[in-house]
Amino acid sequence: MPDTKDLQQALLGWFDAHARTLPWRAGAEGARDPYRVWVSEVLLQQTQVARGLVYFERFLAAFPTVQALADAPEADVLKAWEGCGYYARARNLHRAAKRVAAQGFPASYDAWRALPGVGPYTAAAVSSLTLNEPRAVMDGNVRRVMARLHAERTPTDAWAQARADELLDHARPGAWNEAVMDLGATVCIPKAPRCGACPVSAHCAAFASGQPAQYPAPKVRAEARAVQAVAVLIGDAQRAYLEVRSGRLLGGLMGLPMQEADGGDVPGALAALLARLGARDPRPLGVVTHGMTHRHLTVHVYAAHAPHALTDTGAAALARLDQKLLALAEPTQGTLFT
C-alpha cells in the first residue's frame, strides 16, 4: 500500500510544475468554467487530447455558451461534432444543454449525474474541477496508474475506483484528478512507461517488480463482427441523395442509402436497395472497409440514377464512413479504402 500523504505531495508537486496547458484548464482551481470543462470531458472520451484540442476549439467557436448550444438545431450540433465519433455523446450533450440553459448548471456530483449522457466519470471530473467536490475520476489512464501502484494484473472497475477513492486528495480534488490523468497520459503510458521521469516510482509496486509494463494485463476484447453492406450514390461527391442514419452510434447523421447484406448476399442487398429507392442503372464504384466499435464493415458502393432531391454534402453532418463512401466518386480516388 503506497504511503498516501507522501504520494499525494509528490504527484501534486510534479503536476504543479509539469501540468499540460489546455484551453479548458483556464480559471481558478476548483472554480473553472463548467461549460468548457463539461464539453472537454465529453469530447475527450474515446478521443486523444491532440485531436480533442482541434474538436474543442471548433465546437466552442460554433457554440461559445451553453445557451448557444441549447438554441442550436441538432443538425448543426452534429455537424460541429463531425469527425469526433460516438455521436450519441453529441446528442446527449445537446439535450443536457437545453436543461442547463433552463435550470442553471448543476451544483453537485449527483445533480450532474442526473443530466442526459453524464456518467460517473464526467460527473466526477466536472464536479471536482468546477465545484471542488471530492470525487475521484476513473478512466483508462487512472486505471493503469492504480494497477501499477499496487501491481495488480487484473483490476476490476470496482477495485480501481476504490483505490482511486483512497488516494484522492480531498483538499485539491480537481488538481489531483488531473495530475493522475496527466501522469497516465505522459509518463505511466501503456507499453513503455517512463519510470525514470515518474514522481511516484518510489511508491510503485509495479516499478519495484522490475516489469512495470506487465501491469495491468491487456483487456480481452470481443472480436468485431464482419458485416457486408451495399451503399448507393445518387448524384456525385458534392451533391448526393442522403438519408438520416438511425442507431445509437450514427443516429441523426446524414449518409448514403445503405443496406446490410444478410449472409453476405451483396447482389440481393443491392437489388433490394435499388427497389426501395426506385433507382436504376447501378455502376460499381468500389469497396470501402471501415472499423466501428463492434463491427468491421465492408461496403460495396454503386452509383445509380433516381429522381431524388440532392443535398450539399459539404454542409451535411456526415460520419467518417460516409466521407469515405463519397470519396469513391472522386476521379482521383482508387477503389479500395480502409
State the catalytic residues: 41
Residues 6 or more apart in contact with residue 1 via CB below 8 angstroms: 150
Cell of 33: 468554467
SS3 254: strand
Extract the C-alpha cell encoding 171: 483538499
Strand-by-strand arrangement of the 336-337 sheet: 258-260, 225-234, 295-305, 280-291, 336-337
Structural contact between residues 163 and 150, judged by C-beta atoms closer than 8 angstroms? yes
Residue ranges of the alpha helices (H) in the chain?
4-18, 34-43, 49-62, 66-71, 74-80, 88-103, 109-113, 120-131, 140-149, 157-167, 173-186, 205-209, 266-277, 320-327
Find where cell 469530447 sits: 43
Query: Which residues have CB under 8 Å from 338's CB, separation 6+?
Result: 288, 289, 290
168 phi-psi bin (left φ>0, alpha ψ -120 to 50, beta other): beta
User: Which residues is 234 bridged to in the sheet?
Assistant: 304
Q: Give me the residues paired with residue 312 across strands.
A: 239
